[in-house]
Amino acid sequence: MTDELEDDTPGDDQPSDEPPEAVREFIDAAEQIYYEYNEGYLDPDAALSRLGDHVAELRDTYEE
């Protein structure tokens, strides 16, 4: 009867306060883009384009 109560949600082996690796990678990439934009290395269009690419990668990771 306890089998019915088990949660088969992916990522149960990770602590609840630790985000999945794909999320950590997205946050790192987003922070890098923000830094480069803030320092003047990227114009707004390039920053948004790169950020959009990372959003698509994150979405693809979770839609698989």
What's the one-letter identity of residue 50?
R
Q: Could you please report the per-residue DSSP string of 17-57?
A: TSPPHHHHHHHHHHHHHHHHHHTTSS-HHHHHHHHHHHHHH
Q: What is the pLDDT of residues 2-42, one digit of tens each?
A: 445 455 555 555 557 888 999 999 999 999 999 999 999 99
Tell if the pTM clears 0.85, that is, is over it.
no
